[in-house]
Structure 1
């Protein structure tokens, strides 16, 4: 989709990404980040596994499907906590789905990822972030902090 100001947005029906949290070695939340492949849009930056929504998908379904495709995550080990629209232009939205896993899950990157890495929340802003993710990270972190991290299915 192309906005009125000429900016291009991926996905005719919007896009969604998965902000997956899990307890790190210190017990504090770590998040799974994707280092975008150099050839991709905003390649070389860090962001969330995610992408375009299909016409029949909810944001949650799209974010989980993309995380399976891009990171090899097992959907039965993800617990969705909430969703938030983190970018919006006329006719298009990007929705971030916040989910938890009981542990730092192993990942399998696809060709869209140069690397996948579990990053302590305090260290996320130290990375060269995708501009869209950078613009929403403070808000996402504050929202995530208000939702207790699930461990073994419990707060």
Structure 2
């Protein structure tokens, strides 16, 4: 920890499943793969944040959401590419019900892909690996590129 306290960010994300596949987003800020999600805006609930972020980052609208986990801890200290550091406290939701068409905006989202749970990309962020581990999904060791998304 630094000598001054880190800002605390509150966030929510959505684990979208289709059979044994997970939808992941390749982030525009650091190029890693992760679960769609982001920071809570004042006045939002965590579920509203998860729904808004999913729509903004993927073009998909979530149906029913199930709360999988609330998280905090040292593994959720993040440093963004611009040097900003924060401690994130958040919630991970899950859905199998989405409508809409996947949309890549080329800024916040560089790519979207469906990945088998057994072969997630090795370029998955440490933050996302920690989120997934908390809900029982282990990421591959960071040794090779591995397979790409499935259609």
Normalised to the residue count of structure 1, the TM-score between the two structures is: 0.68
* Higher helix fraction (1 or 2): 1
Query: Would you say how many aligned residue pairs link Structure 1 and Structure 2?
Result: 125
Q: Does 1:47 align with 2:34?
A: yes
- Point out where structure 1 has 5 or more consecutive residues left out of the alignment: 24-28, 143-155
Runs ≥4 residues deviating over 2 A: 3-11, 86-89
Paired residue for 1:86? 71
Q: 1:6 and 1:79 mapped to 2: Cα distance? A: 40
Q: Deviations over 1:83-120 (max 9, x none)?
A: 3113347x8512111121279x6311222111000111
Structure having the higher strand fraction is 2
Instruction: Report whether the alignment pairs 1:69 with 2:65.
Output: no
Indicate the residue corresponding to 2:126 in structure 1. 131
8 Å CA contact retained: 1:45, 1:129: yes
> Which stretches in structure 2 are left out of the alignment for 5+ residues?
75-86, 138-151
Name the CA shift for 1:128/1:55 in 2 (closer, same or farther; >3 Å). same
Offset, 1:134: 1.1
RMSD: 2.8
TM-superposed CA distance for 1:51, in Å, is 0.7
